[in-house]
C-alpha cells in the first residue's frame, strides 16, 4: 500500500513506519493520522508481524507536533464535533495490542512527544529533544501530553515542561525515565530495529500479555493489578507456547512458537 505522508516497510517480522513530511518537520496533520490508523491496523492484523517501530524521516525531527497550519483557522465547534485528536488513542493506542517502539530522531514536540509516548517505549538519539510547547500557542496538550508525560516523569518535570514549554534533551529524558535508552543518531534505527526483532521473536501471546500487564499498572490499584497479573500468568500457563518454552529451556534449545 502506498501512502502520501508515511512510509511503511516490513523487515522480517518487524514493521517500520516512517513519518515522511520532512519539509514540515513531520508535523502530524489529518492525513498522517488517517494513514497511521491504516498502517497500524495492517500491522495488527498481519500474523507475520510481531513488533513495529515508528520514526521520523530526516535528521531533524521525529515530529514537531500537530500541524499548526491545519489547526490555525479551524473553528472550535469543529474541533469538538470531530472530537479532534480522539482517534490517536482510540484507533491507534487502544487498537494496537502488539508491541511498538518509537525511535525518536530529533524534535518530538507537542503531538510529536505525545505520539512517542503512545508507543510502548521510546529509544532516543542523542540529538532528540522532547517538549510540550502548546502553551506558547495559547492551548495545551491534546493527545495525552499532560497525562502520559506526568505518568512518565512525575509532576515536577511535567508541570515544568507544560508551563514553560521548554525542551528536554535526550540525557534529561533518559534520567527522567521518559526513554529507555539513548544512542548516537547513526545507531538509532539499527538499535530500535534490533529491539523490535527481539520482541517479534518472543511467543506472541506472552508479548501481548506482558504489554497488557504493564499498561494495567497505569489504570488500576496495586491490589487489583496484582490479581490481574496472576490471572494473566495463569492463563499463559495453558498455552502451547508455555509448554514449548519450558521444554526448550530444559532441553537447552531455542523455542519454536505457535502463537497458541
Ligand atoms: C506545521 C510546522 C510545524 C508544526 C514546524 N513546521 N513545525 N508546520 N506544524 N507543528 C514547519 C515550519 O513552518 C517550516 O515550514 C518547517 O517546518 C521548518 O521549521 P522551522 O521552524 O523553519 O525550523 P527551525 O527554525 O529549525 O525550528 C524548529 C522548531 C520549530 C523549533 C521545531 O519548527 C517549532 O517550534 N515548531 C513548532 C513546535 C510546536 O509548537 N509544536 C506543537 C504544536 S501543537 P515553512 O514552510 O514555514 O518554512 C500540538 C498539539 C496541539 O502538537 C494540541 C492542542 C489543539
CATH superfamily of the domain spanning 6-201: 2-enoyl-CoA Hydratase; Chain A, domain 1 (3.90.226.10)
The answer to whether residues 211 and 205 touch, using CB atoms and an 8 Å cutoff, is no
Q: Do domains 6-201 and 204-251 have the same CATH topology?
A: no
Domain locations in the chain as residue ranges: 6-201, 204-251
> Would you state the pLDDT for residue 1?
79
Whole-number Å distance between alpha carbons of 130 and 44: 28
| Element spanning 63, H or E | strand 61-63
142 noted as active-site residue: no
Q: Residue 259: which of 202, 183, 214, 193 has the closest Cα?
A: 202
Q: What is the separation of C-alpha 68 from the centre of its chain, rounded to a whole number of angstroms?
A: 22
- How far apart are alpha carbons 86 and 143 in whole angstroms? 7
What's the CA-to-centroid distance between 24 and ligand 1, angstroms? 7
Model confidence at 117: pLDDT above 90: yes
Q: Are strands 14-19 and 6-11 parallel, antiparallel or unpaired?
A: antiparallel
* Rg for the chain, CA atoms, rounded: 19
Q: Is 78 a catalytic residue?
A: no
Q: Which of 20, 25, 106 to mutate to test the pocket of ligand 1 (most atoms within 8 A of CB)?
A: 25
What is Dmax (Cα atoms) for the chain?
A: 65
Catalytic pick from 24, 27, 39, 66? 66
What percent of the chain clears pLDDT 70, i.e. is strictly above it?
100
Of 52, 134, 196, 206, which one is the catalytic site residue?
Answer: 134
Distance, in Å, from the CA atom of 106 to the CA atom of 56, rounded to the nearest integer, reads 8
DSSP-based helix, strand, coil % in the chain, nearest 5? 50, 15, 35
CATH, domain 204-251, list 3.30.70, 1.10.12, 1.10.3470, 1.20.1250:
1.10.12
Which residue is closest in CA terms to ligand 1's atom 53? Answer: 142
User: In the predicted model, what is the mean pLDDT of the chain?
Assistant: 97
Task: Ligand 1: list residues with CB < 6 Å.
Answer: 24-25, 27, 64-69, 71, 107, 109-111, 133-134, 137, 139, 141-142
Nearest ligand 1 atom to the CA of 107 is 32
Determine the pLDDT at residue 124. 98
* pLDDT band of 116, cuts 50, 70, 90: very high
- Give the span between the Cα atoms of 120 and 247, in whole angstroms: 29
114 is an active site residue: yes
Q: How buried is residue 72: exposed, middle or buried, by Cβ count under 10 Å (0-12/13-18/19+)?
A: exposed
In sequence order, the 6+-apart residues with CB closer than 8 A to the CB of 216 are 225, 228, 229
Beta-bridged to residue 151, according to DSSP, are none
**Whole-prediction pTM value?**
0.97
Q: Give residue 106's pLDDT.
A: 98
Residues 28-82: tens digit of each pLDDT: 999 999 999 999 999 999 999 999 999 999 999 999 999 999 999 999 999 999 9
* Residue 102: pLDDT band with limits 50, 70, 90: very high
| Each residue's pLDDT tens digit, 209-257 | 999 999 999 999 999 999 999 999 999 999 999 999 999 999 999 999 9
Per the annotation, the verdict on 111 as an active-site residue is yes
- The pLDDT, as a whole number, for residue 148 is 98
Tens digit of each residue's pLDDT (9 = 90 or more) over 143-159? 999 999 999 999 999 99
Q: What is the pLDDT of residue 169?
A: 98
Taking a C-beta distance cutoff of 8 angstroms, is the pair 16, 194 a contact? no
- Distance from the alpha carbon of residue 71 to the mean position of ligand 1, in angstroms: 12
Residue 252: is it exposed, middle or buried by C-beta count within 10 angstroms (0-12/13-18/19+)?
A: exposed
4 neighbors 31 (Cβ within 8 angstroms):
yes
Of 85, 5, 10, 11, nearest to 42 (Cα)? 10
CB atoms within 10 A of CB 18: 21
Amino acid at each position: 500500500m502506498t501512502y502520501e505522508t508515511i512510509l511503511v516497510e516490513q523487515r522480517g517480522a518487524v514493521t517500520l513506519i516512517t513519518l515522511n513530511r520532512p519539509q514540515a518537520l513531520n508535523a502530524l496533520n489529518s492525513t498522517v493520522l488517517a494513514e497511521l490508523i491504516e498502517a497500524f491496523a495492517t500491522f495488527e492484523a498481519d500474523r507475520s508481524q510481531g513488533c513495529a517501530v515508528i520514526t521520523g524521516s530526516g535528521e531533524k525531527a521525529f515530529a514537531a507536533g500537530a500541524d499548526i497550519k491545519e489547526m490555525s483557522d479551524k473553528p472550535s465547534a469543529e474541533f469538538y464535533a470531530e472530537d479532534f485528536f480522539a482517534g490517536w488513542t482510540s484507533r491507534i493506542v487502544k487498537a494496537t495490542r502488539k508491541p511498538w517502539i518509537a525511535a525518536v530522531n530529533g524534535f518530538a514536540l507537542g503531538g510529536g512527544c505525545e505520539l512517542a509516548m503512545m508507543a510502548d517505549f521510546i529509544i532516543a538519539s542523542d540529538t532528540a529533544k522532547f517538549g510540550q510547547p502548546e502553551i506558547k500557542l495559547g492551548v495545551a496538550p491534546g493527545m495525552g501530553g499532560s497525562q502520559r508525560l506526568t505518568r512518565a516523569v512525575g509532576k515536577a518535570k511535567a508541570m515544568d515542561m507544560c508551563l514553560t514549554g521548554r525542551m528536554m534533551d535526550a540525557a534529561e529524558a533518559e534520567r527522567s525515565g521518559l526513554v529507555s535508552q539513548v544512542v548516537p543518531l547513526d545507531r538509532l534505527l539499527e538499535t530500535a530495529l534490533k529491539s523490535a526483532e527481539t520482541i517479534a521473536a518472543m511467543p506472541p501471546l506472552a508479548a501481548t500479555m506482558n504489554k497488557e500487564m504493564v499498561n494495567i499498572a497505569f489504570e488500576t490499584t496495586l491490589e487489583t493489578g496484582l490479581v490481574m497479573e496472576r490471572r494473566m500468568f495463569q492463563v499463559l500457563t495453558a498455552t502451547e507456547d508455555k509448554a514449548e518454552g519450558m521444554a526448550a529451556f530444559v532441553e537447552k534449545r531455542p523455542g519454536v512458537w505457535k502463537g497458541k
